[in-house]
């Protein structure tokens, strides 16, 4: 089967991507690790001893960074529909967190504790139909925000990947309604032509 021009371009970008090469050298699971590292440098979201919930974690690029940063006294609970190889400091729950049984497993792993930070680098399987892909990505990030509201401690923080397009402006309004401070980040490791940005919500407001 012949590859499309866009998949050829992606492959070429991927092979020549300095962050892909750097990840291989540094032992990170994906180039996404550098996005979290850069955002964390600016926003100081992850500190030793924290409890972090990572949604859509496979293959583990963000969990790997978070596990290292929370250290031995911290915990990362990660969840994804796809399998993920084990990581130090990370407890992995496979399944769809919108399903009651998986949600219950995550809650059991939290053990009554509330998370300091919820992170999500989730993206849908791309169909190539822009409107459908945008709707699917907005649905995922709305689920992540809902999960954050259910699991974060007061003043807790949130980080999620969002794609510019239909629903984006409303979503940012929704995040602003829930957190005291909201900033948008576009890390260097994010490809310039990608519509992805990262929304950082700081300080979960008291729930009404």
Give the residue ranges of the annotated binding site for S-adenosyl-L-methionine. Answer: 60, 62, 80, 96, 121
The number of residues in the chain equals 208
Task: Tell me phi and psi for residue 34, to 5 degrees.
Answer: -70, -25
3-state DSSP call for residue 180?
strand
Nearest Cα to 127, choosing from 13, 6, 15? 6
Rounded CA-CA distance 126/53 in Å is 24
Q: Is 136 exposed, middle or buried (0-12, 13-18, 19+ CB in 10 A)?
A: middle
Catalytic residue among 21, 22, 44, 161: 161
Asked about 173 being catalytic, the answer comes back as no
Rounded CA-CA distance 24/115 in Å is 30
Residue ranges for the known binding site are 60, 62, 80, 96, 121
Other CB atoms within 10 Å distance of the CB of residue 2: 6
Cis peptide leading into 59, omega within 30 of 0? yes
DSSP string, 41-75: HHH----TT-EEEEES-TT-HHHHHHHHHH-TT-E
Nearest Cα to 163, choosing from 120, 119, 123? 123
DSSP letter for 143, please.
H
Among all residues, which ones are annotated catalytic?
Answer: 161
């Amino acid at each position: 089967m012949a590859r499309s021009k866009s998949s050829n371009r992606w492959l070429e970008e991927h092979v020549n991507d300095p962050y892909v090469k750097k990840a291989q050298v540094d032992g990170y699971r994906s180039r996404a690790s550098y996005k979290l590292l850069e955002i964390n440098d600016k926003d100081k979201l992850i500190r030793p001893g924290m409890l972090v919930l990572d949604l859509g974690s496979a293959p583990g690029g963000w969990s790997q960074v978070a596990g290292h940063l929370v250290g031995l006294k911290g915990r990362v609970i990660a969840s994804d529909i796809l399998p993920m190889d084990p990581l130090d400091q990370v407890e992995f729950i496979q399944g769809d967190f919108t399903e009651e049984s998986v949600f219950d497993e995550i809650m059991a792993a939290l053990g009554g504790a509330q998370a300091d930070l919820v992170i999500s680098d989730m993206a849908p399987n791309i169909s190539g139909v822009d409107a459908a892909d945008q709707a699917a990505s907005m649905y995922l990030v709305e689920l992540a925000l809902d999960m954050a509201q259910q699991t974060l401690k007061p003043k807790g923080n949130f980080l999620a990947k969002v794609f510019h397009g239909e629903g984006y402006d409303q979503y940012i309004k929704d995040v602003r309604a829930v957190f005291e401070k909201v900033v948008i980040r576009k890390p260097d490791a994010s490809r310039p032509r990608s519509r992805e940005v990262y929304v950082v919500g700081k300080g979960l407001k008291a729930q009404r």
